[in-house]
Amino acid sequence: MANPAGTSGAHMPEDRNEFVELYNADSTEAVDLQGWHLDDGDAVDVLTAWTDSSLLGTNPALIINYSWLNPGCYAVVLDPEYTDPAPTGGFVMPYHLGDSTLVLTVANTTIGNGLAATDPVTLCSPYGDTSTFGTPADTTDSIPCDPGDGISWERIVVLDPDTASNWMACRDTAGCTPGADNSSTTFLDLAVTGVALTDSTTTKPGEPLFAAINVANSGFRVADAWSVAVFIDRNGDAAPDVGEYDTVLAGHPLQRGQDETLTVRLTCPNVKTDLCARLVGSDDDAANDFMRLTIMPGGSDRMFDLNLSSFSPDGDGFEESLAVLYRLPEAKGTLKVMVYNLGGRQVATLFSGRPPDQRGVVCWNGLSSSGTQAPTGIYAVCIEYRNHGTTRAEELPVVLLRKQRLVGAELRKDVVAGVGPGTAGENAVMQVRAGRAA
């Protein structure tokens, strides 16, 4: 914990609440930590037993006046001023140390010369054995850095190497878990990472529709039993309601970093509708439990469709770009894919030139041609195809949102009402076309 909550200065929280947690991964051998060293790159400190019994007022089960760390147990090296009798700035002895935690300190007034957010830490035994945090031998990687005010760094897999990928900022609501299991051992986070149609042909209303749903374990523990609801969102509230709850798919246990693709058979809707996938149950991060894909039924000779009716390129990793899926009469001539605002001004050109194939995809990331962010609003995605001396043009509306990601029923709150065929949104696109023609 290099950045305790609160302000810095004499007797202040940042001055007295730094700590380093140690874990004895051996299953049989205790180890005496008396005389071991902590080195933050600026100063070297000798570990010693904690002797101030006032600490026991918050937890009588703590182990003090002792330096032996039992197998499978934790030690917490507290700043010597943690029990400062004249603290200021709040956050007085804020940590709930786990039962039977061995409490140590350093024979100095601070750990190191005060742990900075960019300080790596090396633990050294009297025999030359070392353990490290923050890859001290590699100054070019991304750690150590500041995980946030009052948040500690955690090793994800205890016996894995000290690499940037093996550390995470604590996900516990307290910001840290000194003397107890890291939040990484309990953090469960499944994510819907993909929704796609398995057939590239356009399905007509009432015909079978096959989709693939990809779910990944983005957390740090095994996801045993889980399922995902896949539904046609007929009322546009992004929730599986009566008559929409088409199927629930059960997945297999997923280890950390694993994913699984589930296939579902649905019926193609009569009108443009969102196909949604939502994880059933709860995990520790609901923000990535939902994904959708806009279905455009066949039966027309449209040259392109959009994968979403709205998207939110706001940096949260959810619906960051809009896919424009075109299908041309032939792979000849020239193609332009452009974005216009409601004033008829061209905002971005997504493609201009000879199409590489008869079918393809171009994406809009919400930026204008000048590289600036396009504001929230309704836009027209326009396609122009020139071949054999003729020009064919089509437009579709899309809503761009810039806000924190919303899920469930909230997803639609700030969307301009009625975006879809024959609605105010499409009428707005018709006005854009008229504006450009004028």
For 61-114, the pLDDT digits (tens) are: 999 999 999 999 999 999 999 999 999 999 999 999 999 999 999 998 899 889
- Rounded CA gap, 362 and 274, in Å? 20
* Residue entry with tokens 């209303």: 205
Q: What is the set of domains in the chain, with CATH numbers?
A: 1-186 (no CATH), 188-300 (2.60.40.10), 329-438 (2.60.40)
Q: What is the pLDDT of residue 5?
A: 96
pTM over 0.75: no
Tokens of 188: 């469960």
Q: What is the pLDDT of residue 413?
A: 36
Give the number of other Cβ atoms within 10 Å of residue 419's Cβ: 21
Work out whether the CA dihedral 274, 280, 286, 288 comes out positive or negative: negative
Q: Counting beta carbons within 10 angstroms of the beta carbon of residue 183, is it exposed (0 to 12), middle (13 to 18) or buried (19 or more)? A: buried
pLDDT in tens, 292-348: 988 878 756 778 888 888 999 988 778 899 999 898 888 889 999 999 999 999 999
Q: Is 373 helix (H, G, I), strand (E, B) or coil?
A: strand
Pairing mode of beta strands 304-306, 273-280: unpaired
Query: Strand ranges (DSSP E) for 289-345?
Result: 290-295, 304-306, 310-311, 322-327, 334-340
